[in-house]
A and B are shown apart, each in its own frame.
Chain A
């Protein structure tokens, strides 16, 4: 009996060491252009010496339950698969950037040469064939767990059930499907000055 899967992602922040292996694996897997990222690790310094800590927040597409990017795409290029993954049809996208403007997580970018929006799709070419996403396979600390939320025996379901899990900006009502163990509000909320980041991306 074929049963439709519903994918989910979990990041165990107790394990993350901020090595950026996930960012690099993603860049290699997808040939992500210079200055653009599908997945990265935000790094924040907390506290005052000697009580300090570097805090890490891996960011990737949430492949939301109710994706706002799909809702606003004027040409139906962004769509949601039955397994929950949100994809961009590279042949339909006109590069209007409305999805980028409305995404609360800022995980989409416009490919500078192709002129279309691109995003993390949890490596659907791998995961739909039973393999792990490139970032999960690359994580040396096993901090990233990918699996089927409908399978009661999956590792991700076990970890979600047995730990306190959070998601980023749940108040946006998009139903993010990337969960975190030990998510730190301060790390989420601290922001660089806009102009610093604009400068970084140029």
Chain B
């Protein structure tokens, strides 16, 4: 029998950590709520009109907050202007520094015309914003996917998984926002069940897709090379199993999916809100699991 034991090794410290996980979470929420906002003002689904204005305000605020976490994470904060001067086209962070300028700018312009009631211009900037919103969150998936040292990140599913989980967390947030808005900030104090139900159904199907991508990732990585197998073992049986299986997938995805896809359950408002909160916690846990779990296993 062979026994091998490590006696001495060096780990040069965490690289991305919780701050970057929070950053990914916030850009995801922002992109999700922006897309909900454009459903009525960009694509003409009149049913979602009450969410247009509040959606864009939240999207802008979240995207203003998100880069603060990048700034906090940076080692040389006064040099962030280097990002706009020394450009590296092969680095997703270079793409991101421009997306993080253009997207909030477009949000402000889009919101400005919306509040002014200029329909055509609102629609134009809403439609320009869709690819920007997708890119501003999709690029974060590329950041991780290009980190080829870490098997959990280095997957071509990662950008798509990030987009889908952005939609999931964004819709869940809009369900909660819509309910709070109807209950406390309207004259009737009555919930708009039509919107809530439509959002819930949309969320349900996004969760199905999210679960499909997550299980694809686990299955393929699970039979892939050694490092990939280790990363799957970390999430399924290792120290991250509780976070990944229970908090992220069971409570954050499977149970809410059942609630959202059942016509009876999603009409029960407390259940709907509870499930939406679980989704928001679940997607934050997902960001944490991917970012921190991805670099948890030492490289050598």
Contacts and interface: CB of A to CB of B under 8 A. Distances in A.
Interface of A: 35-37, 40-48, 54, 57, 59, 68, 71-77, 92-98, 100-111, 114-117, 168, 171-172, 186-192, 194-195, 197-198, 200-201
A164 B296 CA distance: 33
Contact of B91 (A42, A74, A92): A74
B290 to A, nearest CB: 12
B5 A72 contact: no
B86 A194 contact: no
Greatest chain B CB density within 10 A among A68, A97, A172, A200 is at A97
B94 A74 contact: yes
B147 A106 contact: no
Place the interface of chain B in its size category.
35 or more
Nearest to B75: A95
Contacts of B82: 75, 77, 92, 94
B298 A192 contact: yes
Nearest to B70: A96
A95 B6 CA distance: 31
B4 interface: yes
Contacts of A48: 1-3
A109 B13 CA distance: 7
B298 A195 contact: no
Given A68-B146, A75-B79, 18 more contacts: A43-B8, A44-B7, A45-B6, A47-B2, A71-B146, A74-B96, A76-B87, A94-B75, A96-B70, A96-B74, A97-B16, A97-B75, A103-B149, A106-B10, A106-B12, A110-B75, A192-B298, A201-B12
B88 interface: yes
A74 B93 contact: yes
A194 B146 contact: no
B264 interface: no
Given A101-B150, A191-B300, A94 B74 contact: yes
Interface string B132-162: 0000000000010011111000000000000
A147 B230 CA distance: 36
Contacts of B3: 45-48
A186 B296 CA distance: 20
Interface of B: 1-16, 70, 73-77, 79-80, 82-83, 85-88, 90-94, 96-97, 143, 146-150, 225-226, 230, 239, 295-300
A189 B226 contact: yes
Contacts of B75: 93-97, 110-111, 114-117
A189 B16 CA distance: 23
A67 B206 CA distance: 38
Contacts of A189: 226
Contacts of B92: 72
Contact of A188 (B143, B147, B300): B300
